[in-house]
Amino acid sequence: MKKETFVTKEQLDEIVKTYPTPFHLYDEKGIRKNMQALKDAFSWNPGFKEYFAVKATPNPFLINILREYGCGCDCSSMTELMLSDAVGARGEDIMFSSNDTPAEEFVYADRLGAIINLDDFTHIEYLEQAIGHIPETISCRYNPGGLFKISNDIMDNPGDAKYGMTTEQLFEAFRVLKSKGAKEFGIHAFLASNTVTNEYYPMLAKILFEVAVKLQKETGVHIKFINLSGGIGIPYTPDQEPNDIRAIGDGVRRVYEEVLVPAGMGDTAIYTELGRFMMGPYGCLVTKAIHQKHTYKEYIGVDACAVNLMRPAMYGAYHHITVAGKEDAVCDHTYDIVGSLCENNDKFAIDRMLPKIETGDLLIIHDTGAHGFSMGYNYNGKLKSAELLLKEDGSVQMIRRAETPADYFATFDCFEIGKKLLKME
């Protein structure tokens, strides 16, 4: 089976004349269409807001596209807060959901007026000591524990996750926060990752809505919002059916009307923190075949490596591969597609059936728009690639330049050896 690409071989042939491979390429048209579909799916909720998970694709050019549609930023570190601040996100346009949080990050988040989402009960006192007060609007992350199942299939194991508070801690946290001056409250939970089912969000919503009703009744707080976080996945393999965001939105609406509205909580806003769903399918890694190796297996060596896309090496994750210009060719060759790192797990595909690949062919590695570039690193001294945007009019804009040796050596600049290295470039 094959997956459709958003870029043609003819377009790539032109792009590589200016920008050498490897590079990540993003599809502006697809990003915009998907963002509008999400807004439409939750338009029934007047307070709905998507907080894009900055960690998924921390590029200001892409974040600004989403911000045109009213999107906020979900941050979990100091630099993500800084990036959000730089693109003009302030106040409740930022959701700060972190764990094991340094005090200075709470201070910066508070300075920006971000909504702070506390991961642990002990963070109440820690936050108060760090910033000198408890914000009037605050959120807590909930972990119900146990296994999370859909139709008897285990989706994930929240009980093993390091995130969130127990039910008892959540209720006590709301009482304590209220006593310290908090006036508006939010609940957040993330129970499963990359779910390719329309049932996940409605099931999560029901859990959170029922807890919210009990919280408001027993603690007397006002629940301003319920944050369904992320977890809506994408079909990495070509045989998977994609999620239907309109069906998901409608499923959440039905549970909202069943649980919250009768409890007098029809003013509760719904928030989401999607990263993979927002960007994943609208990015690809373009790389060139530079070597062929014929030993116990057939290898195609490409000019990208796990530095550019870590997920296959880290998780054994599947990313579909298209050989540009050979989309309709018979897949009658078995290859391992590998990078050049001194690690045997530096493989984009293992025993993958593909058309015959020649040196110089361009390979499109699909679905790298989220957790692709952002998870990169610099092992073996490899440098991270450029990021490019395929604009709606067909033109291409560089939205992040490729790293240079000067970038790699920059943190030695206070030593003589560093100055020597920087002169060598």
Contact 338, 346 (CB under 8 A): yes
* Model pLDDT for residues 220-237, shown as the tens digit of each residue: 999 999 999 999 999 999
Just list the catalytic residues: 342
Q: Report DSSP state, residue 373.
A: G
CB 98 within 8 A of CB 81: no
Q: Residue 153: its pLDDT value, please? A: 53
Q: What percent of the chain has pLDDT over 90?
A: 89
Residues contacting residue 88 through CB under 8 Å, at least 6 positions apart:
67
- HSE (side-chain half, CA atoms, 13 Å) at 153: 9
Q: Could you tell me the two tokens for 162?
A: 């390091």
Report pLDDT digits (tens) over 22-66: 999 999 999 999 999 999 999 999 999 999 999 999 999 999 999
Looking at the DSSP bridge assignments, the partners of residue 269 are: 225
Mean pLDDT, the chain, integer: 95
Tell if the pTM clears 0.85, that is, is over it: yes
Q: What pLDDT, on a 0 to 100 scale, did the predictor assign at position 150?
A: 61
Which fold does the domain 28-280 belong to in CATH?
Answer: TIM Barrel (3.20.20)
| Residues carrying CATH 2.40.37.10, the chain | 282-412
Q: What is the pLDDT of residues 190-222, one digit of tens each?
A: 888 889 999 999 999 999 999 999 999 999 999
pLDDT at res. 273: 96
Segment 280-339, tens digit of pLDDT: 999 999 999 999 999 999 999 999 999 999 999 999 999 999 999 999 999 999 999 999
Number of neighbouring beta carbons within 10 Å of residue 181: 12
What pLDDT shows up at residue 154? 45
Contact 46, 39 (CB under 8 A): no
Residue type for 349, please? A
Confidence of residue 413 (pLDDT cuts 50, 70, 90): confident
| Long-range contacts, stretch 182-185, CB < 8 angstroms, 24+ apart | 182/134, 182/135, 182/136, 182/137, 182/138, 182/221, 183/136, 183/137, 183/222, 184/136, 184/137, 184/138, 184/222, 184/224, 185/137, 185/138, 185/139, 185/140, 185/215, 185/221, 185/222, 185/223, 185/224
Four-point Cα dihedral 40, 42, 44, 49, nearest 10:
-110
- In this predicted structure, the answer to whether residue 138 has a pLDDT above a threshold of 50 is yes
Chain region(s) in the chain for CATH 3.20.20.10: 28-280
DSSP-H helix ranges across 260-316 = 276-279, 311-315
* pLDDT in the model for residue 145: 81
Work out the pLDDT band at 407, boundaries 50, 70, 90: very high
Tokens of 289: 């075949």
282-412 homologous superfamily: Lyase, Ornithine Decarboxylase; Chain A, domain 1 (2.40.37.10)
